[in-house]
Homo-oligomer: A and B are copies of this chain.
């Protein structure tokens, strides 16, 4: 599966959008997630300065946006159409949460265009538009406050599409935990030093060491961290020995 191609094959279709600011914000949301194909069915105002302002640099998406006079034109060639729906309808297509819908769309989008269809800000998709969808997508929302902004919905779906397209790597630096023997040498060093400085005088030295092991187990020590901690232990012991000497000198 050619992964960048999946994102290229996803059309974001906004039908009869009222506020041009939402078109701009939707373009910005799409671009942050690597989507590029914006299709507008009879937008109320477009092009528009407010759309430009809200796009915050995603103006290329706006410039390349396809403006259509009909749903037929907007969906031409799409092999799967997923409509955003907030309403519960008497009869409807299959309704999926965003994650499952994204998986389904990504599968088809590997080699053919698919569409995510968004209705108007006020009333969502018309019944005619719903009839043209193979699946509906419903974003789980707080039932007491369902007022999800259009661009926010585009953001969530674009995000799920990016993850479904296998582009979800956030470039996180990997942790490189040290090998077991190095971690073990640290614990031996720690135990010796704690004994020397008189901290293991308790009746339960094993229990204390067990608790310290638990702490560092959770942290999954890296080699460099072990070096720092053992450096501290070495200096602690030197300092302790010096103090002891000074005491003897007195």
- Taking Cβ atoms with an 8 Å cutoff, the residues of A that contact B are 25, 28-29, 31-34, 56-58, 88, 92, 94-97, 99, 138-143, 145-149, 151-152, 155-156, 159, 162-163, 167-173, 175
Residue of A149, A156, A170 with most partner-chain B CB within 10 A: A170
The docked-state distance in angstroms from the alpha carbon of A147 to that of B155 is: 12
Q: Chain copies in the assembly? A: 2
Residue of B nearest to A137 (CB): B170
The docked-state distance in angstroms from the alpha carbon of A148 to that of B58 is: 11
Indicate whether A152 sits within 8 Å of B32 (C-beta atoms), given known contacts A58-B145, A171-B138.
yes
Contact between B146 and A32, CB atoms less than 8 A apart? yes
- A interface SS class: loop
Indicate whether A170 sits within 8 Å of B138 (C-beta atoms), given known contacts A152-B155, A155-B155.
yes
Contact between A57 and B145, CB atoms less than 8 A apart? yes
Q: Top 10 closest A-B pairs, CB basis?
A: A95-B172, A138-B170, A34-B142, A140-B170, A97-B170, A31-B145, A32-B148, A152-B155, A140-B168, A32-B141
